[in-house]
Structure formats: structure tokens, C-alpha cells
Amino acid sequence: MSEPYDLVIIGGGPGGYNCAIRAGQLGLKVACIEKRATLGGTCLNVGCIPSKALLHASQSYEEVSTALPAMGVVCKDLSLDLGAMMKAKDETVDGLTKGIAFLFKKNKVTHIEGTGRIAGPGSVEVSDAKNKKSTLSTKNIVIATGSEVTPLPGIEIDEKRIVSSTGALSLSSVPKSMVVIGAGVIGLELGSVWRRLGAKVSVVEYLPRILPGADGEVAKQATRAFKKQGIDFHLGMKVTGVEKLKSKLKLSMEPAAGGDAAQLEADVVLVCIGRRPITQGLGLEEAGVTIDTRGFIETDHWKTGAANIWAIGDCTTGPMLAHKAEEEGTACAEAIAGKAAHVNYDVIPGVVYTAPEIAWVGRTEEELKDAGIAFKKGAFPFSANARARANHQSTGFVKVLADATTDEILGVHMLGPNVSEMIGEAALAMEFRAASEDIARTCHAHPTLSEALRQAAMGVEGWTMQM
């Protein structure tokens, strides 16, 4: 029998692959088991990367007819080659998943293709595609099995007409109409993609607002912007069924608070009401790993209740985000190697890659009010930011929330152009426990969009000055 591994990771997504690479860098003997043919998990294969590729391509397509003419750029013969757009997306995914395989080799990580299961203390069984079994012996096991689409009872996803995000990333033609169930991150991002490419998009959401986790003021202004783009919202509505007619789908809904039923017709229905952790068939119960009522593995500093079994990423509690999984993967490897390991859960940014983009870090106004924390607020609109005006992208604003006594930044919320990149500055400031005045007194290049963050920070003490 060969030397045992220091750690065996089940799952090769952002949690698992970052854990594997960091463990390799620290000189640990590590194997990562992945059941997909490619590494990278949901994020690289059917999540972050293909969705961002389509968001960028569809935004570029739409801008040619909507934004560029006002700047003197006129294109008379615009056409869409959806096949080429999908191919470009697939090539990006292919290149990036191969990049992870390269990093595994570079950091001496053993990549095992197959399905992993805990077989006993320090023992992981792997079944390959032909169901041939082998067993790995290891000092530590890391569960990084991620998440899957939450189904809507009574509505069967066929990935052709009734799709999850996975099907919506690969439609072979632009539907005339699409109904999106769930006004969360996926609904808004993929709804935007297909609207830009020509579909009439309607969104049905159970709650009376979009993006439940985001700051209320941001969500309100974002709703206005998306409505202006042509998306219809049916808020506070509960979907009761989808009937498959020959050429159309008929979706029935009724007010969540009770009331008259209504119907919508569509060519494609996208179900995106959240994701659920993958914890079945892993031998968790027998191993003594406990799961909460929502199915998430319970952890304390990535340790489960069972000795030498760890869990990270989407299969544990917290935001289901690639960078959260990545942070935990790195920290978990460092903890296993005996190093001090830390994840600051108060500073995990969230981004919605629509246009305008939405980004935030820290607490919302609603959360601060609920917690009884006194705070000051500064805000600045992109309509008063010179770079945004020059770029014809002036929808949105930046808001900085700071502690009323200490001025420590407690939350930053943005709606506007390129805010996915701007939020990093706010996260860094919060990581250093900066005061809003630290941002307000930092020289920012002119003209840049990031000046809007500085002006919002200046607004906390009431000295915003730029037009």
C-alpha cells in the first residue's frame, strides 16, 4: 500500500481546486477527486465563467445599436451569430479548465477522475466512469462537493424549454419570449443576456422585491433600470405550474399574499430559485458529519464534527460564491498544514454582472437598522461623475455607510458601470478597518469612475464637492 495522502479533496470546484493548489504549495501530499471530466466545478463549467462570457458578448451586441450611435459610431448591418457566440464562450471555458489541470501538475496535485465517497476513517472510495472502485488512504478529507439547482416542485426541467441556468447558457436559438422564475442573481444576469439578444423577458418573483440580499435602495433603482430596458417584473407572485403546450409554455401564477391567478406564455422558462448543497451519497452520516436542517454541512473553521474531516464552499453555510469557496479552500489547506488560517466573513463582496452592474460589501442599511447600529451615510450619483458622463454610462450611484461614532466603514453599495471592479477598493479598505475619511482623503485619478466612491465617502461628513 502506498504512503497515505495528507489530504484527499472530494470536488474540484473553486473550493476544492484552490485548497488542492495551496496544499501542494505547502508541500502536502494531496489528491483531488472530481466526477466531471473537467476541473473548475460549477464556476468554470456552468456558472461564473460561461455566464460572464455571454454577458460580455450580449452587452457588446446590444451597445452597437443602443449606446454607440449617440457617440457617432453607426453600424448599419448588425447581425447576431449565436453559434459563434456560444463557441467563443465554450473556448473560454475549455481554456480555463485546462489551466486548472496545468496548475495541479505544477503544484504536484494528483487529479483523480471519478466519484468520491467517505468509506471510513481516513479512507475515501473512488468509483470511475465504468464503476471500477479504488480506495485512497489519507490523513485528512476535505468535502468540497458544491451545490446544484434547487428544483421547483411540479415543474420538470428538461434543459430545452424549461431550463435551469445550465440550459440557459447553451440555448441553440434566441427564444421570442422567456419567463424567468426568481429575481435573484441568475435570473437577472441570464434574463439580461437573452433580453439583449432579442427575447421578451418577464421575471416572476415570490418576494415583493428583487435581489433579497442586496441593499433596498440599490435594488429599487436597479429594478427601475431593468424595467427601462424592457424586462417585465411580476413581484410578490408565486408560480403554481407550467403547462407544456405544443409550441408554447403556459405559466400559471398567483399573488403570494393570495388573490386572483394570472398566466404568462413563453417559449422558454428559466427556473432559478436558488441552489442547494450536494451532500447525498457521500457517506457523511456514517462518518459522523452533521448536516443542518437546510442540508448544509455544519463546520467550525472548516472542521466538521468528525475528526480530520473538513468541508468548504457551497456545501457549507454562507454565501454561495466562488470567491467565498476559494477563500475557504485556501484557509482550510493552511489549517491542515498547521498554519494560522483566517477568512473574514464580514468582507465578502457580492456582484451582479448586469448593466448597470451591482456590487456591495459589508452590511446594508436595513441590516444596520435591524442591528440597532448608528451609522452615517454618504452617496454620490454617477450622473455627477465626469468619466461616467463621458462614457454615456451615468445610471446608478455609490453609497458608503460608516459607524456614527468611529467612522469605520460598515458597508459600501454600488449600482453603475464597472462597479464589479470598483468594489475591490472598498473591500480592501474594510479589510484594513478603514474609516470613510481614509477613502475620502485618498487621491483618486481624474477622471475615473472610482472618484464616485471617494465622493460618496466625502459625503459621509457632508463635503462632497465634485459635479
Residues in the chain: 467
Partner from ligand NAD, ligand FAD, none contacting 325, C-beta within 5 to 8 A by type: ligand FAD
Instruction: Please give the residues from 64 up to 123 whose contact with ligand NAD meets the rule CB under 6 A.
Output: none
| Residue whose CB is less far from ligand NAD, 191 or 381 | 191
C-alpha cell at 255: 399573488
Among 234, 323, 413, 446, the one annotated catalytic: 446
Residue of 34, 205, 328, 365 interacting with ligand NAD (CB under 6 A): 205
DSSP tag of 150 = P
Residue of 157, 207, 235, 335 interacting with ligand NAD (CB under 6 A): 207
209, 222 in Cβ contact below 8 A? Answer: no
Give min distance, CB of 302 to ligand FAD, in A: 12
| Residue whose CB is less far from ligand FAD, 35 or 392 | 35
Determine the size of the site formed for ligand FAD (CB under 6 A). Answer: 34
| Residue whose CB is less far from ligand NAD, 16 or 313 | 313
446 catalytically annotated: yes
Spatial separation of the C-alpha atoms in residues 243 and 245, rounded to whole Å: 6
Instruction: Please give the residues from 346 up to 375 whose contact with ligand NAD meets the rule CB under 6 A.
Output: 351-353
Instruction: Please give the residues from 281 up to 300 whose contact with ligand FAD meets the rule CB under 6 A.
Output: 282
Interface pattern 1-30 for ligand FAD (x via CB under 6 A) = ---------xxxxxxx--------------
Q: Does 144 bind ligand FAD (CB under 6 A)?
A: yes
37, 45 in Cβ contact below 8 A? Answer: no
Q: What is the separation, in whole angstroms, between the first and last Cα of the chain?
A: 71
Q: Does 42 bind ligand FAD (CB under 6 A)?
A: yes
Q: What are phi and psi of 314, to 5 degrees?
A: -60, -25
Residue of 183, 270, 284, 398 interacting with ligand NAD (CB under 6 A): 183
- List the one residue out of 4, 28, 10, 52 whose CA is nearest residue 335: 28
380, 450 in Cβ contact below 8 A? Answer: no
Q: Does 14 bind ligand NAD (CB under 6 A)?
A: no
Q: Does 171 bind ligand NAD (CB under 6 A)?
A: no
Task: List C-alpha distances in Å: 159 to 154, 156, 298, 350, 437.
Answer: 15, 9, 32, 27, 50
Axis crossing angle, helix 185-196 with helix 48-66, rounded to the nearest 10: 40
CB neighbours of residue 236 within 10 Å: 15
Give min distance, CB of 146 to ligand FAD, in A: 2
Spatial separation of the C-alpha atoms in residues 125 and 145, rounded to whole Å: 15
Q: Does 459 bind ligand NAD (CB under 6 A)?
A: no
Spatial separation of the C-alpha atoms in residues 37 and 12, rounded to whole Å: 10
Task: List C-alpha distances in Å: 425 to 348, 354, 436, 460.
Answer: 12, 20, 12, 17
Instruction: Please give the residues from 286 up to 315 whose contact with ligand NAD meets the rule CB under 6 A.
Output: none
Give min distance, CB of 315 to ligand FAD, in A: 6
C-alpha cell at 95: 481554456
Give min distance, CB of 355 to ligand FAD, in A: 14
User: What sign results for the dihedral spanned by CA atoms 430, 436, 437, 443?
Assistant: positive
Q: Does 193 bind ligand FAD (CB under 6 A)?
A: no
Give min distance, CB of 14 to ligand NAD, in A: 12
Q: Does 410 bind ligand NAD (CB under 6 A)?
A: no
* Secondary structure tally for the chain: helices H, strands E: 14, 22
Give min distance, CB of 108 to ligand FAD, in A: 20
| Residue whose CB is less far from ligand NAD, 235 or 404 | 235
Footprint of ligand NAD (CB under 6 A): 152, 181-187, 189, 204-207, 212, 238-239, 272-275, 319-321, 351-353
- Catalytic residue ranges: 446
